Structure 1
Amino acid sequence: MSQDKADQEDELLALASIYEDEFHRADSAQGGEIQLCVKLPPDFKVVVKGEKQIEYKISFLPPLVLNFELPEDYPSTNSPIFTVSSKWMSRGQMSALCRRLDELWEENQGCVVLFTWIQFLSEDVLDFLSIQSPLLVSRHESKASSRKADHAVAGEVGSPCDSWEKKKTKKKKCETPPDPRAVLSLDTRADLLPHLLDFDQAQRQRVFDATPFCCAICLTEKRGATCLCFKECQHVYCKSCMTEYFQIQIRDGNVQCLNCPEPKCSSVATPMQVKQLVDEELFARYDRLLLQSSLDLMADVVYCPRHACGTAVMVEPDSTMGICSVCQYAFCTLCKMGYHGVSHCKIPAEELRSLRDEYLSATAEAKKFLEQRFGKRVIQKAVEESFSRDWLNDNAKCCPYCGTNIQKVDGCNKMTCTSCRHYFCWLCLGLLNKANPYSHFNNPHSPCYNQLFHGVDLDEDEALWSDEED
């Protein structure tokens, strides 16, 4: 075996050993393909060029792909035959890289050069091309615009061939023509941004899956592939602990409370995360209850009054008519009776109390007449709602965020809504800061300054505690 052949084999075996997942050796020739991710600085961003500038923080860009073939007289005489391709670079930038690879070969002629090339393409590309954060990306919106230059205008932040990229004149081109070894691996008519974001997300997940984490619940160290990470807070727990936690909460109907277990953390699991950890039946219950609770908080949603239906119905603005999409029942959204146009509601809210009193004090014959006139179910509902409304007016207040009725049994004036979990002041019904809800009562400019325990019978509470201790 010649010395060149031996050097080639040694270099290819070293590449296969070091870059096990990134390097693919060719079957029919001395060569192969290697994918190289450019090392990005912290807080690297991509900016979408358009009417409204949007920034995306990314940690990984799609790899540069180096395809090469080793001639018989490499490395003693000739350099490897190669091409460089990329999804996010312009042809001018890749042409500059090709010329730099030629220079590196000339500097190291007679020695194997692939590792020198790989190190340059992995670590020095951004500095060499003067690419800085944010990387400016153009989104192609028409066929005409897709014929203009390349995908990314990163060259506008200063590449060695930026005169070929800039738009000083429509017909001006770089004096140096594009290198034929520079290959665009993405159709110029395609939108580059989704490719960048999808690759970044996939690489982040790959790194997460291989990283060990200690679950704060079971205190066991596990790889990220068997863990769940809450998106907002980035707290990580093992999937077995979170599966049990989600199952208990969903069975109890607390679908709005699938929060991060970390104390005082308000991050919530996404529906996709829940679906990955519970079975189909439990997820169907979660999905149904989540939709129900979300609809209950929407002011423009009512429910079909037919007991056999109960479908959610969207209400048009400034309209009192609702039409059920399932049973086609047209009803008044105020009194829940059949739609009556501009006529007054048969049971206005202000007449519920008088109707209740009239029905409860009426004779059997009069009650029968009222039931025939309004319907027995409507009468019973009116009585129940009237009693409930009176009790709520006397004993409860509405959450200022979602409108849920809240009763204060004991404790201070900092309240937590049982439905939406927002904090609010019992005295002024103002929403409180989630991070520091008590600042409302400590601020001298607040109307409730020093009134955290206003109206609370502290002596009675102390007496109860002392009785329990005795």
Structure 2
Amino acid sequence: MADAREERENEMLALASIYDEDVFRRAESDDQGEVHLCLDLPPDFKLVFQGVEQTHAISFLPPFVLKFELPEDYPSSSPPIFTLRSKWLQKTQLSALCKRLDELWEENEGCVVLFTWIQFLKEEALGFLEIQSPLLVVTHGNTQHKSKATGSSTKQEGVTQEDTPDSCLDPRAIVDLDHEHDLAAQLLDFNEEQWQKVFNLKMLNCGICFMEKLGADCLYFKICNHVYCNECMAEYFTIQIRDGNVQCLSCPEPKCTSGATPEQVKKLVGEAEFARYDRLLLQSSLDGMPDVVYCPRTVCRTAVMLEPETKLAICPACKFAFCHVCNRGYHGVSACEAKIEDLLALRDEYLSASPDEKAFMEQRYGKHVIQKIVEESYSREWLKDNCKSCPFCGTNIQKVDGCNKMTCSSCKQYFCWICLNMLPRADPYGHFRNRSSPCFNQLFQGMDVDDAQDEGFWIDEDEI
């Protein structure tokens, strides 16, 4: 019995010296422990999830957990008492592994067997279960299992846990199903975490300063596989953010378009720079969304989501109701009273647009509204070039010929065509005789001499 205890102790000490603490964990009881085993996956191993065509290249899968207890008569007579747990294998597969562990004990009866079990699970389990790439991740209700993309990945081809009699399932086989989290997300997250741990321990050359740095001090662009040290990338990101180039936080390699994630940017820049980056990135994203506008109040400028088939927009911050076409207070079904500059800009944008862009503008503003804007813009442009507004009533007045003393056709107010000042009804021409007036002696300014003679009116120099 003393020899058996010594063999057990020696085996435990040997395992502790071979494996790290995150792999082999000895319990407080000398004869108990557990082993966390990540399988050695072949290069270019891939996962594919049911219902999704995209494949995911992975290097790590969540570990098996072999929990064991060594009885008093181990290894002379009895095998270790154990359970085998896994997140991603179905119970039939785990049961097959448990049976194989029993067979290995029988082949090595009387000898310590834990190391043999560990090596089998780590190096041979994939082949034993006939698991190949790409590995299909399948979900059936609350039961999740895996198979090859072209069939079953185990010797029990076409058999699922639901179809297997309980007598064929080993009670030592335990499936760790987490119903609160998606299995696919768990597998990808675990692979990412393990990959990052390995990357952090590598020595790598920075593509900017060409210094050799530890992976933990470097930034890796996954799409292009380029690596740069954190110090160089922090300076690069900070300069781009201060210049407002938040869309340019990509790999510095020429012609490379791999972009940095917000998490990578946050890790390398200060709080102020990241806050500016976050704000500019949000604004840039909103600017690219056709159903988002900004509150026209200069003290607010909050983003506003547009409702379909209506011009009404209500700012969620200041509650200002406005027309998103003209950016003025909401005017119901009345036409927008836009500035001539705004109408011209919208008209030019529409006339120069492609057929698809025109269709989008017609859908956004309404085809009738667009046509009316085009017509009204031409009318307003003509009025701006050929007419002036009466200074009293605002009526548009066109001057075809005659002197610069004008009479409004609407309100009959006299006014000067040059300076648009209203003229007294008693002596409207006094404005042109007054030496202090900016329009002194300009009554016929802009007229041909023959036209002036036809007017039959000349200012007497003696009167001046």
**Structures share fold, TM-score greater than 0.5:** yes
User: Which of 168, 172, 179 is the matching residue for 2:170?
Assistant: 179
Name the CA shift for 1:188/1:355 in 2 (closer, same or farther; >3 Å): closer
Show the counterpart of 1:299.
290
Name the CA shift for 1:28/1:335 in 2 (closer, same or farther; >3 Å): same
TM-score in terms of structure 2 length: 0.70
Q: Does 1:154 align with 2:147?
A: yes
Report Cα offsets for 1:143-193 as digits up to 9, x if no partner: xx33xxx42043961423446528xxx7x5359521222122225786422
Distance 2:209 2:53 in 1: 44
Distance 1:34 1:42 in 2: 24
Report Cα offsets for 1:78-121 as digits up to 9, x if no partner: 22222111111111111111111111112122222211111110
Report Cα offsets for 1:284-324 as digits up to 9, x if no partner: 11111111222222222222222222222222344333222
Show the counterpart of 1:67.
67
The structure that has the greater radius of gyration is 2
Show the counterpart of 2:435.
none
* Letter paired with 2:15: L
Q: Does 1:99 align with 2:118?
A: no
Conserved in 1, the CA contact under 8 Å of 2:76 and 2:110? yes
TM-score in terms of structure 1 length: 0.69
Show the counterpart of 1:226.
217
Deviation at 1:54, TM superposition (A): 5.1
Show the counterpart of 2:361.
none
* SS at structure 1 position matched to 2:128: helix
Name the CA shift for 1:277/1:188 in 2 (closer, same or farther; >3 Å): closer
Distance 1:195 1:252 in 2: 39
Name the CA shift for 1:163/1:345 in 2 (closer, same or farther; >3 Å): closer
Conserved in 2, the CA contact under 8 Å of 1:131 and 1:154? yes
Show the counterpart of 1:396.
none
Distance 1:39 1:98 in 2: 19
Show the counterpart of 1:311.
302
Deviation at 1:127, TM superposition (A): 1.0
Show the counterpart of 1:387.
none
Deviation at 1:226, TM superposition (A): 1.4
User: Which of 194, 218, 226 is the matching residue for 1:203?
Assistant: 194
Q: How does 1:27-42 map to 2 (within 5 A)?
A: 27-42=28-43
* SS at structure 2 position matched to 1:139: strand
Q: How does 1:364-383 map to 2 (within 5 A)?
A: 366=391
Show the counterpart of 2:373.
none
Name the CA shift for 1:163/1:252 in 2 (closer, same or farther; >3 Å): closer
* Letter paired with 1:19: Y
* Letter paired with 1:26: A
Distance 1:233 1:102 in 2: 47
Deviation at 1:268, TM superposition (A): 1.3
Distance 2:386 2:273 in 1: 48
Show the counterpart of 1:56.
56
* SS at structure 2 position matched to 1:154: strand
Name the CA shift for 1:54/1:247 in 2 (closer, same or farther; >3 Å): closer
Percent identity, aligned pairs only, is 55
* Letter paired with 2:2: S
Distance 2:61 2:306 in 1: 46
Q: How does 1:161-310 map to 2 (within 5 A)?
A: 161-162=156-157, 164-165=159-160, 173-174=164-165, 177-187=168-178, 191-310=182-301
Name the CA shift for 1:319/1:120 in 2 (closer, same or farther; >3 Å): same
Distance 1:368 1:252 in 2: 50
The answer for unaligned runs of 5 or more in structure 2 is: 345-375, 396-464
Show the counterpart of 1:123.
123
Show the counterpart of 1:415.
none
Q: Does 1:331 align with 2:300?
A: no
